[in-house]
Amino acid sequence: MALQGVTRREVFRGVAAAAVAAACPYRRARAQGFLAYLAPEEPIEKTLQRLFGSRPIKDGSHLVTLDLPLIAEDGGNVAMSVVVKSPMTPQGHVKAIYVLSEKNPRPLNAKFDLTPACGRVAGSITRGLVARVRALVIHPNERVERKDGNSVERSYRFVTRVVVNYPGRDIAEFDTATSIGENPSFGFAFRVTEPGRLKVAFFDTHGARFEGAAEVKPA
């Protein structure tokens, strides 16, 4: 589907089940190898220390908005959004967003690495302004099973990385794990600078690559 840079936001969906092949054949490995994709099981205090060291963590409620339902139909699959106020310019932009859950055995749910090319969403889409995109992959994204308080070791299949490319360069990367639900979808913004292909690629623990693309045609 082409993204027409005119007066409305277009939706882009990379549906893996339709026309995407695995990048390399599945090679069986020890189950622990798959669990190694995950952040360690630890208290959230240790996670914060490991990620940020001695850097102070400030109250960002005036800049960061976290939106999720108070009650979800499925506690294991809860839609959420994170919005950060930023000009997203080379001089001042958000470099990374970490999503942590205090009650999870592995508090780090996901990390989103961003660049100024992600931009800030505007009302209409023309060259130099910003489009919002949603990418979806049909994937089981298996959760790690637990027994007697410990992770059950087996060859889980889940998405570990998402890469956004436009035009011919990577503009964002998302590191994900089993805290992300089945058939994950991600919304993001990017700055429309020139005609070209917007590509979103999903990579999983079995060596598969799922990719969707759309032509960007700015006005």
* 99-124 confidence digits (pLDDT tens): 888 888 888 888 899 998 887 644 44
CA neighbours closer than 13 Å in the CB half-sphere of residue 217: 7
Using 50, 70 and 90 to split pLDDT, how confident is the model at 37?
Answer: low
Instruction: Report the pLDDT value the prediction gives residue 165, as an integer from 0 to 100.
Output: 95
- Phi and psi at 147, nearest 5°, equal -145, 130
Domain ranges of the chain: 3-54+93-218
Average pLDDT, the chain: 77
Task: Report helix, strand or coil for 215.
Answer: strand
- Taking the CA atoms of 92, 98, 99 and 101 in sequence, report the sign of the dihedral they define: negative
pLDDT digits (tens, 9 = 90+) for 153-192: 888 899 999 999 998 999 999 998 888 888 988 888 888 8
Whole-structure pTM value = 0.69
| The architecture CATH gives domain 3-54+93-218 | Sandwich (2.60)
Residues 90, 94, 97: CA angle, nearest 5 degrees: 155
